[in-house]
């Protein structure tokens, strides 16, 4: 692995080729004219934050620790949506953290190019502890891509990440997270989101590579009138990975609306827990859960755990969940069309894991599609 100093760089192009290749796997690109802003936190240090000249007056971006020094009011946003005493991981971040990203999309800004951030680990046995804050101010529109990744030569690491997101009145924020870890990495994101009047928050999560243990359960609060959110996830678990993935939406606002959709595959002795919960605290709200899973291999396990909690008469909540296997006739049909058995299985898996449900920008969708087609989906 090329040596990378934990110090500021002037351009992503300064990164060694193998590092660039690593971050490409999470949708991060070095062509910064295709992004409205780029941020990189390497191990325990923010080494890069730069805004595209086209969006200079529309975005404020810096390390969270620097932002807290510059904007004293930001302390009111810190640990508001995530309880620092929630569990041992939040406590460890609260006690000692290295920074993180602060994105503030300005009032009324229409950010047409995606923002990108990369949280990268290149040191063995490192525990990366970060705290991120995102504010999408009133009437703004933006799409964020966060790539969480470690270098292929790193054997073992921990990633503890706190993220608090505020979507103000009439704002729209799409937040896409792509994970690319290793077989011995423990990952513990903790995320809270607050959604205002007539605001929209869309969360996309993609994990296609082996990982030891992921446990995440973001919570969104639809507090505003006509507030809306959707959580979409695509997960391919293998090599004895344990992925405990879920999301919860609390519907507090009049005419608030939520959808949670997940596509999960478990193979090679892995375990997938697909959790989802909707809580209706107002009579005029709507929510739907959809969880579909494929189980490949006798030692794999999958658990679909949908929950609906209705506290007010008039609310409309629904769910559907299904776990199955690839039908033999599907494989046989594709084989008659000239595909080998392994290619037929891979084609079916890619079709099942249709990333179009994520609603990514076209250029990002193309990058992620390319990553998927280069991956080994052998069961």
Residue 2 lies in a domain: no
Residue 6 lies in a domain: no
pLDDT at 362 (0 to 100): 66
What 8-state DSSP symbol labels residue 82?
S
Q: Using CA atoms, how far apart are residues 314 and 226, in angstroms rounded to an integer?
A: 16
Task: Specify which residues 59 forms β-bridges with.
Answer: 105
CA angle 61, 66, 181 (to 5 degrees): 65
Please tell me whether residues 251 and 360 are part of one structural domain. no
H or E element: which one contains 327? Answer: none
Please tell me whether residues 209 and 344 are part of one structural domain. no
Residue 7 lies in a domain: no
Q: Using CA atoms, how far apart are residues 275 and 245, in angstroms rounded to an integer?
A: 6
Three-state SS for 286?
A: strand
Please tell me whether residues 312 and 356 are part of one structural domain. no
Look up the domain containing 240 and give its range.
12-326
pLDDT at 189 (0 to 100): 97
The answer to whether 316 touches 288, Cβ cutoff 8 Å, is no
What is the tally of structural domains in the chain?
2
Per-residue pLDDT of the chain (379 residues; tens, 9 = 90+): 555 656 789 999 899 989 998 898 888 888 888 899 999 999 999 999 999 999 999 999 999 999 999 999 999 999 999 999 999 999 999 999 999 999 999 999 999 999 999 999 999 999 999 999 999 999 999 999 999 999 989 989 999 999 999 999 999 999 999 998 989 999 999 999 999 999 999 999 988 788 999 999 999 999 999 999 999 998 988 888 999 999 999 999 999 999 999 989 888 899 999 999 999 999 999 999 999 888 887 889 999 999 999 999 999 999 998 887 777 787 787 888 888 877 777 777 777 776 665 666 665 666 666 656 655 555 5
Please tell me whether residues 352 and 215 are part of one structural domain. no
Residue 27 lies in a domain: yes
Residue 131 lies in a domain: yes
The answer to whether 101 touches 67, Cβ cutoff 8 Å, is no
Handedness of CA 251, 82, 171, 28 (dihedral sign): negative
Please tell me whether residues 340 and 273 are part of one structural domain. no
Strands 141-150 and 172-180 come out as parallel
What 8-state DSSP symbol labels residue 110?
B
CA dihedral 150, 154, 160, 165 (to 10 degrees): 0
Please tell me whether residues 77 and 118 are part of one structural domain. yes
Among 288, 309, 326, which residue terminates a domain?
326
In 3D space, the residue among 146, 116, 124 whose CA is nearest the CA of residue 55 turns out to be 116
pLDDT at 100 (0 to 100): 98
Backbone φ and ψ for 122, nearest 5 degrees, come out as -125, 10
Please tell me whether residues 242 and 151 are part of one structural domain. yes
pLDDT at 2 (0 to 100): 56
Among 282, 302, 326, which residue terminates a domain?
326
What is the number of other CB atoms lying within 10 angstroms of the CB of residue 354? Answer: 10
Residue 204 lies in a domain: yes
Please tell me whether residues 36 and 182 are part of one structural domain. yes
Please tell me whether residues 242 and 265 are part of one structural domain. yes
Please tell me whether residues 230 and 365 are part of one structural domain. no
Residue 241 lies in a domain: yes
Residue 365 lies in a domain: yes
Please tell me whether residues 224 and 334 are part of one structural domain. no
Please tell me whether residues 314 and 334 are part of one structural domain. no
């Amino acid at each position: 692995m090329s040596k990378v100093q934990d110090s500021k760089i002037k351009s992503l192009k300064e990164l060694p080729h193998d590092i660039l290749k690593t971050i490409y796997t999470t949708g991060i690109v070095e062509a910064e004219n295709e992004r409205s802003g780029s941020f990189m936190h390497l191990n325990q240090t923010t080494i890069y934050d730069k805004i595209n000249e086209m969006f200079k007056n529309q975005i404020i971006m810096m390390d969270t620790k620097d932002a807290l020094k510059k904007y004293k009011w930001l302390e009111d946003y810190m640990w508001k949506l995530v309880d620092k005493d929630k569990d041992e991981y939040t406590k460890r971040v609260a006690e000692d953290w290295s920074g993180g990203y602060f994105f503030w999309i300005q009032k009324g800004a229409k950010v047409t190019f995606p923002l990108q951030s990369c949280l990268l680990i290149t040191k063995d046995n490192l525990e990366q502890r970060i705290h991120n804050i995102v504010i999408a101010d009133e009437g703004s529109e933006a799409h964020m891509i966060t790539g969480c990744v470690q270098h292929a030569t790193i054997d073992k690491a921990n990633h503890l990440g706190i993220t608090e997101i505020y979507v103000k009145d009439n704002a729209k924020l799409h937040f896409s997270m792509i994970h690319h870890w290793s077989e011995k990495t423990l990952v513990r994101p903790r995320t809270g989101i607050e959604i205002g009047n007539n605001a929209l928050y869309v969360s996309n999560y993609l994990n296609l590579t082996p990982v030891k243990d992921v446990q995440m359960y973001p919570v969104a609060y639809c507090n505003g009138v006509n507030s809306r959110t959707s959580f979409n996830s695509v997960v391919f678990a293998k090599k004895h990975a344990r992925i405990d993935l879920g999301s919860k939406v609390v519907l507090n606002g009049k005419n608030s609306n939520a959808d949670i959709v997940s596509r999960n595959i478990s193979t090679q002795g892995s375990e997938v827990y697909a959790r989802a919960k909707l809580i209706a605290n107002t009579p005029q709200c709507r929510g739907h859960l959809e969880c579909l899973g494929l189980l490949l291999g006798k030692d794999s396990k999958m658990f679909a755990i949908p929950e609906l909690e209705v506290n007010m008469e008039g609310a409309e909540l629904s769910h559907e969940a299904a776990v199955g296997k690839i039908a033999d006739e599907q494989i046989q049909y594709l084989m008659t069309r000239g595909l080998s058995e392994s290619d037929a299985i891979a084609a079916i898996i890619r079709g099942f894991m249709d990333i179009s449900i994520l609603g990514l920008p076209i250029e990002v969708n193309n990058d992620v599609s390319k990553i998927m087609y280069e991956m080994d989906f052998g069961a």
